[in-house]
Copies of this chain bind each other. A is one copy, B any other.
Amino acid sequence: IFLCSPCDTNGKVHAAILYTARYLGIDEVYKVGGAQAIAAMCFGTISIPKADKIFGPGNTYVTKAKELALQAGIAIDLPAGPSEVLIIADHTADPDFVAADLLAQAEHGADSQVVLLTNEPRLSEAVNKAIERQLPALDRKKIIQQALVHSISVVCDSLEECIAFSNAYAPEHLIVATNDATMLLDKVTNAGSVFVGHYSPESAGDYASGTNHTLPTNGYAKSYSGVSVDSFVKKISFQEISPEGLNQLGPTIETMAEAEGLAAHKHAVRIRLNKLSYEQ
């Protein structure tokens, strides 16, 4: 297991990243990031080894490079691209909290998308006003403004309609900002990670709640799970059949091989069964 991470302008990798790598027992760190890091891990270079599988989120360029790596025969965790959040909020939601969560997701990059769904028209208006109030104080307001240009707010007839919209959108992050979310949660079929109630900001998932935050974006939550311990596990199946076992299983194998028209598959069993009956 080795790590690629970009440097700051002084040519240093961030101390928090190096500390974490050391803590995890990763002692091979290369000072490179972006699409060029993916290319190096995909094909190998004089100094960077070729990887079997590449993990980690990134911007549009990194995601595209990982897609090309996949075509070149290297496995990837999942196509995790520009970040997105979808919030379903009802009349119990605090417009300030909803606005803050939308702004937090929008600061990831100009290509981020944030979506608000609500069954309460007044909430939609109150959130817009809260965004205007909160935005000026934020460091990355230019990025946020760019992201907000292609972000949307939709007033639906019911919370059920919000969930149906969300399942079709398949958001990376879904925040359900309602008082009694349990019944709604049963209907969530497509989402990366779900944040329930008014005190579960998405930034908790990024940093502290313990769920993984490398998640499927761009509709991929319809087909992909987020990164988990499973993503690092490779399974090999082993089977050992005894002579007695083959005597029992053999006829099944022969019938099935014959049904598929694969005589040599049947023969590989028959030649063993013949020898066993000759030895008896």
Using a CB–CB distance below 8 Å, which chain A residues touch chain B?
14, 16, 52-53, 67, 70-71, 73-75, 94, 96-97, 100-101, 103-104, 106-108, 134, 137-140, 144, 181, 185, 188, 191-212, 218-226, 228, 230, 233-243, 245-246, 249, 252-253, 256-257, 259, 261-269, 271-272, 275
Given A252-B208, A264-B106, decide whether A196 and B236 contact each other with a Cβ distance below 8 A. Answer: no
Q: Considering only CB atoms, which chain B residue lies closest to A134 in the complex?
A: B267
Which of the residues B70, B140, B238, B245 comes within 8 Å of A70, measured between beta carbons? B70
The reply to whether B236 and A191 form a contact with Cβ atoms under 8 Å apart is yes
Which of the residues B208, B219, B230, B237 comes within 8 Å of A73, measured between beta carbons? B219
The reply to whether A94 and B275 form a contact with Cβ atoms under 8 Å apart is yes
Residues of B within 8 A of A198 (CB): 272
Given A191-B236, A236-B194, A271-B96, decide whether A209 and B241 contact each other with a Cβ distance below 8 A. Answer: yes
Which of the residues B206, B234, B239, B269 comes within 8 Å of A265, measured between beta carbons? B206
User: Bound complex: CA of A53 vs CA of B224, how far in Å?
Assistant: 9
The reply to whether B194 and A238 form a contact with Cβ atoms under 8 Å apart is yes
The reply to whether B103 and A264 form a contact with Cβ atoms under 8 Å apart is yes
User: Bound complex: CA of A57 vs CA of B110, how far in Å?
Assistant: 40
User: Bound complex: CA of A275 vs CA of B130, how far in Å?
Assistant: 15
Residues of B within 8 A of A107 (CB): 262-265
Residues of B within 8 A of A195 (CB): 239-240
The copy count of this chain in the complex is 2
User: Bound complex: CA of A241 vs CA of B208, how far in Å?
Assistant: 11
The reply to whether B224 and A212 form a contact with Cβ atoms under 8 Å apart is no
Residues of B within 8 A of A96 (CB): 271, 275
Residues of B within 8 A of A71 (CB): 67, 71
Q: Considering only CB atoms, which chain B residue lies closest to A240 in the complex?
A: B196
Q: Considering only CB atoms, which chain B residue lies closest to A107 in the complex?
A: B264
Sorted from nearest, which 7 A-B pairs have the closest CB atoms?
A: A75-B223, A196-B240, A207-B256, A203-B265, A225-B235, A100-B268, A107-B264
Residues of B within 8 A of A206 (CB): 253, 256-257, 265
Which of the residues B191, B199, B208, B264 comes within 8 Å of A242, measured between beta carbons? B199
Question: Can you list 14 A-B contacts (CB < 8 A)?
Answer: A52-B222, A67-B71, A73-B218, A94-B275, A103-B264, A138-B264, A193-B239, A200-B239, A200-B246, A203-B268, A204-B241, A209-B239, A221-B236, A225-B234
Residues of B within 8 A of A238 (CB): 185, 193-194, 196
Residues of B within 8 A of A73 (CB): 218-220
Residues of B within 8 A of A226 (CB): 235, 237
Residues of B within 8 A of A144 (CB): 264
